[in-house]
Amino acid sequence: MSRVPLRPLARILSARQKGEDHKAIENENKHQRMLAARGRQRQMAEGRLLIASICFAAAFIAVGAKMFILSTTEAAEPRIASTDAKIYPQRANIVDRNGRILATNLSTYSLYAQPQMMTDPETSAVELAEIFPEIDAQKLLADFTGGRKFLWIKKKISPEQKQLVHDIGDPGLLFGPREMRLYPNGKLAAHVLGGAGFGREDVHSAEVIGVAGVEKTFDEFLRDPAQQGAPLELSIDMTVQDASAQVLQGGMKIMNAIGASSVLMNVKTGEIVSMVSLPDFDPNLRPPPTPAADPTLNPLFNRALQGVYELGSVFKTFTIAQALDSGLKTKDSVVDTRSPFVIGKYKIKDFRNYGTELSVEKILVKSSNIGTARIATEIGAERQREFFKSLGLLDVAPVEMVEAHGGRPQFPKKFSEISTVTMAYGHGIATSPVQVAAAYSSILNGGLRVTPTILKTPSVQPGPRVVSEETALTMRKLLRKVVLEGTASFGEVAGYDVGGKTGTADKPDPKGGYYDDKVIATFASVFPASDPQYVLIVTLDEPSETSSGEPRRTAGWTAVPVAAEMIRRIAPLLGIRPVIEPGPGFGIIQAKSSSQ
């Protein structure tokens, strides 16, 4: 038997002495102890609950507070993560194929006014007009006193001008930082680059956006921070571009032309190495587009890309190439050239009478319309259309410039018999010089189609075949003969083996019909003809050569000498060594390989 202590001992002992039952006391005591223990447990449980609820509340408050902070504060850049990040300009540079800068950014300032802060609007207006001669003091004063709260005075000012404005000392004249686009070479390649302007702007910064040329086409690329400031590399060679522009400017003046353009294309890659259009402009001060009577006279108009012209006899090359390639003719086949050649109600004549018959070679060398027209009738409308299409003459030139879409070729929807005949010698179809350059390149590089591009492309996928290699070889020889014996005799440049085809087309009169005394003279040339590397198209608008007293307008007298001078200047710059032309009877003979 176990001994259990009697509790509460004092009361039990006294109760025992009195003879009372101690059990009741003991039970009561047990009951009270139990109640006390239960109270303690309850307190503990409550305490635990409290701690748990505090923990939960703290967690929810922390999450809530973080959410509140995130939603109310502005996002800061993670500074530690960006330690190796460089700071790039807002807009990437544009460089030529050798990495020389064509367009870059410069930090400058804009000038704005808050008239309500100005102390002396009259003096400020007068002094500002002195600093910026193009500002009218009266108009400025009216703006200052007219209740306006804010106005731009100049979007771009130089540091010197900033200092001068600072010296006026008016607290209402304020400066904001600006990035401006700078074209350090001025007018050089103006049509290719286009120009830039400001997009959305405020006092602290402004968006620089491209408004024309590659600046507009590659606007997103140039502004993309992910490119890390990588420049846009063009296929243009700055030195060649400058030399071409200089020669063309001189040629345009001597030949009394109102406009001129030249395109130099790499025959293998389709890269446009130089593209000149005159008159030109300074992209730093891009003139506003003026709604002129004739948009083609606007300096902003890119004749090489936007100007679609009937280019005349340069198209004979395509007709003859097709005739040779399809096996219809060989270069020695004889074609009837009796004048006039009547088709429907039209009579086709030659510049001169070339007798009753000519070989295909002579047709190209002497540029006989009748001969080409007869060949075209044999080719037929459908095949001609397909061939022109394969050369890219019927589609917009896929050059990466917004202006390319302005140069949509014009030709009849339906190739009728008469249109086939006229298109064979370049009438009734209007194309841009760039398209002709690409078509000549495609034929002469060995017969693989090239796509014209303004971007540096060191290697390209070979395009689909347009003519056979054999035809390409024959065409090179024929074009060389045009220079040696034919209409382009002024095109000879010693050592550079120039080949080419002239084209003189009457200019269409907007009132209908053609002008008698206005022509477009074109020379499509290739050099060196023995191993073609570049195609050069020179086009003069309304040239007339007057050295002999009588105006001469044919391309042979106008466009050809200009192109020859251009080749003399640019071929050495392109690194082409002058070669002694292989004499007749020498050269590479095509041998059939034994495996075939």
Where in 246-275 is the site for another protein (CB under 8 A)?
246
Cβ neighbors of 196 (< 8 A, separation 6 or more) are 91, 103, 181, 208, 209, 210, 211, 215, 283
Question: 165, 170, 178, 185: which one contacts another protein (CB under 8 A)?
Answer: 185
The one catalytic residue among 244, 313, 367, 368:
313
Where in 313-352 is the site for another protein (CB under 8 A)?
none
Residue 577 interacts with another protein (CB under 8 A)? yes
User: At closest approach, how far in Å is the CB of 112 from another protein?
Assistant: 22
Question: 153, 190, 238, 311: which one contacts another protein (CB under 8 A)?
Answer: 238
Residue with tokens 């477009």: 520
- From residue 549 to residue 568, the character string flagging contacts with another protein as x (rule: CB under 8 A) and all else as - is -------------------x
With the C-alpha atoms ordered 276, 280, 285, 288, is the resulting torsion angle positive or negative? negative
* Residue of 370, 359, 361, 373 whose CA lies nearest to 474: 361
Distance CA 265, CA 271 (A): 6
Nearer to another protein, 89 or 279 (CB): 89
Phi-psi region of 265 (alpha: psi -120 to 50; beta: other; left: phi over 0): beta
User: At closest approach, how far in Å is the CB of 185 from another protein?
Assistant: 4
User: At closest approach, how far in Å is the CB of 481 from another protein?
Assistant: 22
User: At closest approach, how far in Å is the CB of 59 from another protein?
Assistant: 23
Distance CA 169, CA 118 (A): 10
Residue 86 interacts with another protein (CB under 8 A)? yes
Residue 176 interacts with another protein (CB under 8 A)? no
User: At closest approach, how far in Å is the CB of 34 from another protein?
Assistant: 36
Can 313 be counted among the known catalytic residues?
yes
Residue 483 interacts with another protein (CB under 8 A)? no
Residue 89 interacts with another protein (CB under 8 A)? yes
Residue 525 interacts with another protein (CB under 8 A)? no
User: At closest approach, how far in Å is the CB of 437 from another protein?
Assistant: 23
Cβ neighbors of 144 (< 8 A, separation 6 or more) are 113, 115, 118, 121, 124, 125, 172
Nearer to another protein, 185 or 504 (CB): 185
Residue 398 interacts with another protein (CB under 8 A)? no
Cα separation values, 84 from 78, 79, 260, Å: 12, 10, 50
**Residue 263 φ/ψ, nearest 5 degrees:** -130, 125
* Residue of 217, 188, 266 whose CA lies nearest to 440: 266
Cα torsion 107, 113, 114, 119 to 10°: value is 120
Distance CA 221, CA 526 (A): 34
What is the DSSP code (8-state) at residue 88? -
Using a 10 angstrom Cβ sphere, with 0-12 exposed, 13-18 middle and 19 or more buried, the burial of residue 32 is: exposed
Question: How many residues bind to another protein according to rule CB under 8 A?
Answer: 34
Nearer to another protein, 168 or 484 (CB): 484
Residue 87 interacts with another protein (CB under 8 A)? yes
- Residues noted as catalytic: 313
Q: Which residues bind another protein (CB under 8 A)?
A: 79-80, 82-83, 86-87, 89, 100-101, 104-107, 182, 184-186, 188, 238-239, 242-243, 246, 493-496, 568-569, 571-573, 577-578
